[in-house]
Amino acid sequence: MTGLRIAGVGAYVPRLYVPVSTYRDAWGKSGAAGVERVAVPDADEDTLTMATEASQRALSAADVDASKIEHLAFATTTPPADEEEHTVRLASLLGVGPAVPTRQFGGGTRAGAVALAATLDAEGPALVVVSDSPQGAPESDEAAAAGAGAAALVLAKDGPLSVDGVGEYGEPFPGTRFRQRGSAETESIGITQYERDAYTSSVGGAVEALGTDVSAVDAVALTAPDGKLPYRAAGAVGVPTEKIASGTVVSKTGDAGAAGPFLGLASALESGASSALLVGYGGGAGATAVVLSADSDVPLGAVLEGDTELSYAEALRRRGTITGEEPEGGGAYVSVPTWRQTIPQRHRLVAGRCTDCGALSFPPEGACFDCGSLAGYEDTPLPGTGAVEAATAIGQGGAPPEFVEQQQRSGSFPVAVVAFDGPEDDESVSAPAQVVHSPAGTPAIGDRVEAVPRRIYEQEGVVRYGFKVVPTEVQR
């Protein structure tokens, strides 16, 4: 095939996880077949923040600046809101230009494969991002398997990984995997053989539509609702099960929905695979197959496994399954138009350099703190690293009302004043930030930190995104 090639791959799986054995203990059921543990997004993570982290890793791996991206595609079945242009927010968080074409894909778990196929003939460099975090009713098999993760592909004309073919297949199998309007919970009608037939016939049909022999690929990465279903497609695909194992990560991540096969691809590349078959399957049913081959090593920045175990109750809290209500009144109200004015600072740490004296200010507003000039500022992005100058912890009952839900879900959290590094040596600007994943709780003065994208809070039904910081020693 002609078109863009893959120049870099990024993957992100949340740091938190819960063993599936805890689900079995809680419900007295076997849980999801072949799944050992599932990734759990933190209270301030969602598919948009995970997409941003995966994208940053892909861009870094490919050595491509976000400002050079000419096309952005985002695929998810679990967006933060049912209706909104989330790809536009993703572009802002990454620093992709506002005039760049953006495309949003969803509606089924093959959305990521569809997004990739649809982007191959776009202007390059392009970025395809797939992020998902499915849920199920607490007692269901879908909930037992529900994981999370995101992956991103940078596409360019000279990437080392080529897409050699695309095949698609669709045949009605109603009820195999669906989410009703207004619901957050994925369901199925639960007829096992019917669901297997839908999966194997759709996956096999898409592979057959490729019109090429895939038996020689190093790895096969399939949509994986659990740890057994992908292997049932081995015969239909025409590959041995060990090649499916090479591209399957569901046992460590849980069901990552549309992102699952892309996480599997990242894992296969990390293990040295030079060719792969990727198939996105969506309940209903349809599948899109993509066959890939590399002529050299593929740049990769992947985090594929969490490192912090939760109990079952802690996992329910993080997901918001059990939480209280936000107290009335007392919150620091910030209107959406006012918040929007500070998006460059909150999303991308854009400081300002005084046009008179050259001093940095963050945020860049009002008179220069150094010379008092009102001449204005030149936008100056900060690298996102810094050192803690002061820190404390917000304990139970101490959080402002807009942060109470987060505190209920994740517990007390540290906040710090951070001296963020400037673009030049010996430059810094100070700003407050919440600290996430700090092993010692409240960080010590002088600890190095890095900015990460997170949900700040939700007000008027609108999620406010911005930066928080994570200790450099635990950045993955």
CATH of the domain at 240: 3.40.47.10
First vs last C-alpha separation in the chain: 35
Instruction: Classify the C-alpha dihedral 359-361-365-367 as positive or negative.
Output: negative
- Same domain assignment for residues 183 and 240: yes
- Same domain assignment for residues 273 and 411: no
Flag whether 196 is in a domain. yes
Q: Of the candidates 286, 319, 352, which is a domain's last residue?
A: 319
Flag whether 341 is in a domain. yes
Domain total of the chain: 2
- Same domain assignment for residues 194 and 312: yes
Supply the range of the domain harboring residue 436.
Answer: 336-474
- Same domain assignment for residues 132 and 84: yes
- Same domain assignment for residues 242 and 342: no
| DSSP three-state, residue 317 | helix
Flag whether 371 is in a domain. yes
Flag whether 119 is in a domain. yes
Which whole-number Å values give the CA distances from 304 to 27, 60, 75, in the listed order? Answer: 28, 17, 19
Flag whether 331 is in a domain. no
- Same domain assignment for residues 121 and 93: yes
Q: Of the candidates 319, 353, 384, which is a domain's last residue?
A: 319
- Same domain assignment for residues 392 and 270: no
- Same domain assignment for residues 141 and 264: yes
| DSSP three-state, residue 237 | helix
- Same domain assignment for residues 381 and 468: yes
- Alpha-carbon distance of 471 to 10, in angstroms, equals 21
Flag whether 326 is in a domain. no
- Same domain assignment for residues 100 and 233: yes
Flag whether 162 is in a domain. yes
- Same domain assignment for residues 217 and 278: yes
Instruction: Classify the C-alpha dihedral 446-452-453-455 as positive or negative.
Output: negative
Nearest residue to 255 (alpha-carbon basis) of 55, 476, 40? 40
Nearest residue to 145 (alpha-carbon basis) of 245, 36, 233, 42? 36
- Alpha-carbon distance of 439 to 307, in angstroms, equals 11
Calculate Rg over the CA atoms of the chain: 23
- Same domain assignment for residues 279 and 423: no
Q: Of the candidates 291, 319, 347, which is a domain's last residue?
A: 319
Flag whether 313 is in a domain. yes
List the chain pLDDT tens, one digit each, 476 residues. Answer: 668 999 999 999 999 999 999 888 888 877 788 999 999 999 999 999 999 999 999 999 999 999 999 999 999 999 999 999 999 999 999 999 999 999 999 999 999 999 999 999 998 899 999 999 999 888 888 888 999 999 999 999 999 999 999 999 999 999 999 999 988 889 888 889 999 999 999 999 999 999 999 999 999 999 999 999 999 999 999 999 999 999 999 999 999 999 999 999 999 999 999 999 999 999 999 999 999 999 999 999 999 999 999 998 888 888 887 665 555 555 567 888 988 999 999 999 999 999 999 999 999 999 999 999 999 999 999 999 999 999 998 877 666 777 777 777 777 889 999 999 999 988 999 999 999 988 878 899 999 999 999 999 888 889 999 999 999 987 77
